[in-house]
Amino acid sequence: MHTHPPAIQPGTQAATLRSPHATNPYAAAGGAPSRATNRPFGIGGSDIGAVLGLSPYRSAVDVWADLVGRVPRETHDAVHLRFGQHAESFVAAEYERATGRSLVECPQTLFHPEHGFMFAHVDRLVLERAGDTALEDGRVTAPGVLECKTANAFAAHGWGEPGSDRVPAAYLAQCAWYTAVTGCAWADLAVLIGNSDFRVYRLARDPELEALVLGRAKAFWYENVLAQRPPAARTASDAATLFPRSAPGSQVEATAEVLEALQGYRARQAQLQALTEESESLKARVLAHMGEAEALSHAGRTLATWRSARSSQRLDTRSLEAEHPELAARYRVSVAGSRRFLLREGV
């Protein structure tokens, strides 16, 4: 059982630099090395929203499974990651133009001065005047950090007035993480919404928020990651990550709590089915009215579109196996089936 170090107090020390490829300092304490080759073994700013349950894209279980080696880390050559890097430069340039401040790139990994598993890859360090120092003797001396984001126009409602601190909760946690790690007095969050609406938000350092965020991170690190004990599953996807395979012939007895959950699930599935059928009926009325038309409009506004997708090609595996069985066999691979959850009658 791993014991906690003393309670975290948001410090005034600046972040320190260390090689992300250095020997894992937690391996002896039960930690598993990260699968990544370009990030250290620890919790970063892009992880903390998921750890806190604030991210719409990842969960604490996803972060845990990644850190303990349960799942392969996503490739860093992915298109969306390359686009993010491209957009980051544009958003940073717009920030300089809008604010008159100077930015310094910081490719180094920054570590919390007291808690070495807490690290940050900040987009930029912010200087009030060009020529000021951003890093000195391996420590951050810049007054602020900049985080660059892009957002879909449909997500604009999640952002408050420019200049305020009303940003999506996951980004608020990420910025709090960066001020805690770097010791900077504030974090600016620059976002381009819908490719046309550029905004800047100021998030002043908040010791109480940092204490909450870092305390939760510390608990996750010691009680889940180093202890090799997964956090509780909160979604069906979490459960599938934790239990990807079934044990043939095995069975478990339902508790009263599980029976209640199963009955609630069955009732909501029935409601969902009724709503789905109603939704499909309404959709069919609209499509029948459109006929072969690609767009539906009213008073000069396009309300919906129904276009044919581009033609695509696929491999006719049935014909290939029939006409060239030896060739097909050479490229046949076994793929493990995923688990399916099916309701039975009688509950």
Domains of the chain as residue ranges with CATH: 16-240 (3.90.320.10)
pLDDT score at 8: 36
At 342 the pLDDT is 76
Alpha carbon distance 198, 95 (integer Å): 9
For the stretch 17-68, pLDDT in tens is 554 434 344 333 333 334 344 578 999 999 999 999 999 999 999 999 999 9
Q: What is the DSSP letter of 195?
A: T
Helices (H), 68-144: 79-99
* Chain segment 111-167, per-residue pLDDT in tens: 999 999 999 999 999 998 888 888 888 789 999 999 999 998 888 999 999 999 999
DSSP 265: H
| Strand 144-151 relative to strand 139-140, pairing | unpaired
pLDDT for residue 6: 35
Predicted pLDDT of residue 10: 38
